[in-house]
Amino acid sequence: MKKAPIVCLALILCDDVIEDVRTHKKSFLNSFNSIIVPTIPTNHPQFCVVCSITDAQKANLAISIKKDDTQKKIMEVRGQVSIENPLDVVDIVFTFRQIPLNEIGSYSVEITSEGEYIASRRFTVQAMQSKEKGNSWICRREPARYDSNDKSIFFLL
């Protein structure tokens, strides 16, 4: 009998994850699609990847961060998951620290099992372009892929 494929129900990028010790519910802090950096190259201090999977039973997982245009792996973590009931949903939290970001552009977090693609999530790395204006900094993003009238982020110091 052929092994059923692992199903990824959610793939979330965030700054940190807090798990309630009593209920085991997870809170995702500051989910994101872009990282704005002051300089390139840089090491981003930390981010978490939350992967909700089902139909896994016993599987070897690999999660990697890749630069989209070159498919070069920047970081990779491997581990094994074992689920007694294949209908259960398991939330796996991966914490990456000191992520080397050497270029502006599009990156992906990709999950595989035994070399088979499961899911991926894209994020962008953008350069901070600041201009002092009074007591605030104005940060301009690169144009996004969607149509939006607001293309500014404001940071108050």
What is the residue extent of each domain of the chain? 7-128
Residue 140: DSSP 8-state:
E
The two structure tokens encoding residue 63: 């999660």
* Secondary structure of residue 25 in the 3-state scheme: coil
Spatial distance between the Cα atoms of 89 and 80, rounded to a whole number of angstroms: 15
Q: Residues with Cβ < 8 Å from 119, sequence gap 6 or more? A: 8, 11, 51, 110, 111
Report phi then psi at 25, rounded to 5.
Answer: -75, 145
What are the pLDDT tens digits along the chain (157 aa)?
345 578 999 999 999 999 999 998 999 999 999 999 999 999 999 999 999 998 888 889 999 999 999 999 999 999 888 888 878 898 999 999 999 999 999 999 999 998 899 999 999 999 987 655 444 444 444 433 333 344 333 333 2
Q: Which fold has domain 7-128?
A: Immunoglobulin-like (2.60.40)
pTM of the model: 0.76
